[in-house]
Structure 1
């Protein structure tokens, strides 16, 4: 959603890398399952509404080769084994696929990796919106880029959503109640927020009116900080909830309304993404001016 905002605001070309090979090497799943998951990921990405005339989506399994692979080799020759171990913490028990992967994620930062899109435009600079766990890959990339005569990519790093159970918890696929999914129904979302979202509110209405809520630990407020677009309303909720004039029930109800609207909108958009539209060939054929 944030990346779509950037594309809409600046009318820029966007390259989206589906790292299906990374899934296969880091998870105990087959190549075929990794590819299936990538296709499902592509549907969710397309449902966000990117400009098809300015967007190029590719999977590593299908695309790596040619100029892309040449840049991979150039990057690989610049990073010693000791350095990659220091950056990523690989051990003697890790297979060599993990050690070889970082250049694959690095080279989409360089326009020359996509000559069919940016031929003769190697001067273009790359901005990467990503989560903080991807930072090591692009620190490595920024270190290597000048040695190859390329611009360093710039990053906008985002923090993770906290688990519903609180900042001390962790979202986990093994615990479906730790997160809100775009596949959740309205009832699922309401139940999860009401039952599992950790709050900083008091345990009785009387205490809440008297002492107010601890906003620093309150998960519904943290989620509203991400999803509630009206800053004035957000500040109003924080003031009223923190002072005790608003109850936990009311905050959870507002969060539920917002998340249900977002998820329902996404579900409708995703349902419109047919297998033909989600075929990466469609996104390869549409080139921006």
Structure 2
């Protein structure tokens, strides 16, 4: 597989794919930031594997543990000690999941201690507008009304852009929900005459509960324990959550069981899956790719309960070794 194809693998979008072709010579820096805000869930595994791919491609990857950002965003009650504990748990979970040891972890606390960080933030602010900052607020799950009541919320997008520039990032990695911040970074970089970071957008996994009444899509959330599979979950937790997961027959869109297969299992943990079906219902069979699974599921050739059973066994093998270490720390 060529470098560009590896880079693009399992992403939602690369902005831009053409620019990414220039990233494979010399020393290149990649960045991703995580806001410590609770227990890590299985979406972290997507990032662990993508980061490992970037390291193999020659990138020097920095993971920002964004404790100051979490405080601005009122996560864990804004208690910096709880936020730091959460960040340390996240760091351990990524390492236990097999993150390359060459990846560097950085705390936002250490960045903001340098006056140069705030000088850069001021330059960024002078090259943006309030309207443009307002458009970026969804990255933190906040509305304009939230920010109007607490002005620190407006600083958050500026900090995220500053992180990208301060760490000299050639590539910024994040979920599709972070697009506004990184597109803001690209716009401001052009105004300031800086290099524009390539954006690597990663997919989000649907909530185990399915979409809300008014929502087209609802992602796994740390604030709703039954909506997500945590890396601290036990065998019984995994079995219960997958058994109860939203998984309508013949529908793949916003289907969390299908999402986990598509974005996590087939790309990184299994080249094929075995569907253990009773002989009275046709007997067991093997699915060799996600494309095959998607086709069969759309045609209602795979029963949701059979698929859930297959996924459960795989997830137990993936999550429990991590969970056992985290829960024994």
TM-score range, shorter chain: 0.7 to 0.9
Task: Give the 3-state SS of the residue equivalent to 2:63 in structure 1.
Answer: strand
Q: 1:257 aligned to 2:313?
A: yes
Residue matched to 1:205: none
What is the TM-score of this pair, normalised by structure 2?
A: 0.66
Larger radius of gyration: 1
- Return the alpha-carbon distance in structure 1 between the equivalents of residues 100 and 230 of structure 2: 24
Instruction: Tell me the SS of whatever aligns to 1:150.
Output: coil
The residue that corresponds to 2:106 in the other structure is 58
What is the CA–CA distance in structure 2 between the aligned matches of 1:241 and 1:15, rounded to whole Å? Answer: 39
Gaps of 5+ in 1: 115-121, 202-212, 275-289
Say whether 1:23 aligns with 2:60.
no
Report the structure, 1 or 2, having the larger helix content. 1
Is the aligned partner of 1:106 residue 2:150? no
For residues 121-270 of structure 1, what are the structure 2 equivalents within 5 Å?
A: 126-168=170-212, 171-194=220-243, 196-201=244-249, 213-216=250-253, 218-229=255-266, 230=271, 232-267=288-323
Partner of 2:98, secondary structure, is coil
Q: Is the 8 A contact 2:246 2:255 kept in 1?
A: yes
Give the Cα separation in 2 of the matches to 1:97 and 1:217.
Answer: 33
Aligned mates of 1:106, 1:223 — CA distance in 2: 30
Contact 1:182/1:267 (<8 A) preserved: yes
String of CA shifts for 1:26-80, please: whole Å, max 9, x gaps.
Answer: 1232222222222222222333434434x32211123321433332222122123
Is 1:128–1:155's contact at 8 Å kept on the other side of the alignment?
A: yes
Give the alignment's TM-score, normalised by structure 1. 0.74
Instruction: Check the 8 A contact 2:247/2:257 in 1, yes or no.
Output: yes
Match for residue 18 of structure 2? none
Q: CA deviation at 1:217?
A: 5.8
* Structure 2 segments unaligned to the other structure (5+ residues): 1-47, 138-142, 213-217, 273-287
Deviation at residue 245 of structure 1 after TM alignment: 4.4
Aligned length: 249
Residues of 1 paired with 2:199 and 2:58: CA distance?
Answer: 18
